[in-house]
A and B are shown apart, each in its own frame.
Chain A
Amino acid sequence: MPGFLRKVLVFGVVLLAYLGLMYAVNCMSATLNAPRAGETILIAGDSHVERALNPELLGSAESVAQNMEPYYVTYWKLKRMLAGSPVKTLILGLTHHQLSDFNDLKLSHQRWAPEMFRRIYVIEEAEAAARHGIKVDRSELWRAKFRNMCLYPKWTHDAFLGGYTSSSDSLSLDQEHSLKRHFQRDGETCGISTYSLACLESIVDLCTRLGIRIVFIAPPVHSLYFEGIPEVFIRRYEELTADLRARGLEVWDYTRLPMEDSGFLNSDHLNERGARQFSQLVATRLREPR
């Protein structure tokens, strides 16, 4: 028995030592290779801006927008990327569904949480989110941390970055599915995510503090999608944009910009052709005097 226990103990200790070493190495590489914004225009948000704005057409710009990203993740991301960066303008997506409290499920729902944690394990502030009532699947979070930080040395930890994504596919009308996902839960209309709005406010504060111009953009959506957005979200969105404008912030709402079907990938995303048109429009407006 002592021989057996000794073997098991040695095996366990060596394993723990290895895992600890890998964790230390990965913490170091995550710090040393932490990505910083390198251009003067930074595009952030979820899949709507990810697919709508081609940074190559905006001059000195880069996109860190990523699909299914709620505002709180964008905030955690920007906190790390903006400080000490040359960014002068932040283009931030502002769409109706980003106000929906379906975003509050991103850290707990089986469908989203594993992917979300895979991306954000080095920037997450899940405990802060949990204090604000966001449900967090902690076991999934620790699994993601363990898998990415403890098993082998990784030189980059930037899965949270995102970037411009394009597709040349033509319109597939999926508004029923998208509207249901964005605005309904268990057959009921979703509520407004107070935590998302609080983080949006934090992003504004951050940019103000760093002297960064912030431009809120709502890319075009298909009329069939827009017509299906619940009234409560239309109203809250209008209140929010009015409030932002009243505070001197720029809100460029192109939700209902007339656009041919050939510019859409689906009911709420632009394809490559649509993104080209829209990016040129935004680029022109960015060059105009404020």
Chain B
Amino acid sequence: MCYRGSGMSRARYRGFTLVELLVVIAIIGVLVGLLLPAVQAAREAARRMQCSNNLKQIGLAMHNYSDVHKTFPYGHRLEVGGDSQRRDNWFQRLLPFVEQQAYYDLYDNAHITISPFAAEYIHRLPESIAGIAVPGFMCPSDPAGPARGGGGSDNGFQGNYAVCAGGGTPISPVIDPTVVLNLNMITEDPGGMFGRQRARGFRDCLDGTSNTLLASEGIIRGSRGGSWGGLGGYWGGAPHGSFGFSTGEAPNTTVPDRVYSCKNANDLYRKAPCENGHADGLPGRWNFARSYHPGGVLAALCDGSVRFVSESVDRNTWRNLGNRADGGVLAEY
């Protein structure tokens, strides 16, 4: 027989002791414990990336719109009796610039193909037109999508994105300029880039495009249900608040949105409290930026960049971001 080397003298088998095994198992356990929550977070991170891309596309579409029309679209159209396409808003204006030209034509020809009556108010349009869900306007973190509602009748598509109406204006400088704000978005100039009828462009962005918000996201309160004014109710809700959001309160605030009427019950949507402006006799209409992304919301700036803004952002910084000509110096955010 031939033994190589000096192995013979070390023939006693060298195994692991119980303590060594326990240490290894403990270390593996700790690592798995660290990794498992991260897997769930990775799913949310992927959804957040997709949402971020959606906002980026909206930002690019706005820039392309501006190249063609020399301004951004209006927030929503001023309603004039006898007009057609009443309550038209930035969503419909933007459709040709997010590769939805065919959809836009379908909408634009509705007074011929459907009826002049249906085309007068856009929420009268049948589900075959108003109900088409545009994927780029849905945040994957919101389980409600593809949703309908927000514009009264239950047949119009409701998305997650809205344009920035500004951060409110002091009601009276005499009383208390910092506390009492008029947040009402349904005016020609609520302070941000978007309001009623008046289309604003890059030249109106006096704070600079990298210091002014363009769009952000909101929470849809359920897949179905009639209501007027919920954020993203593009088909009829615009003059009740759907077109935009206010930066008067920080993202994900516990202060409720105040729209014409709320979609579904408050206790189902703890992250998106809402009060019935009309039935409760409350003045002013507004939505706030909200999301299911942990800790904040995604927002697009007028330069087309997209940022994640923490819900603990300084409230005045967030307000100044929303207003296009406040002249305030932005703190780190």
**A and B pair up:** no
Which residues of A are at the interface with B, using a C-beta cutoff of 8 A? none
Residues of chain B touching chain A, judged by Cβ–Cβ distance below 8 Å, are: none
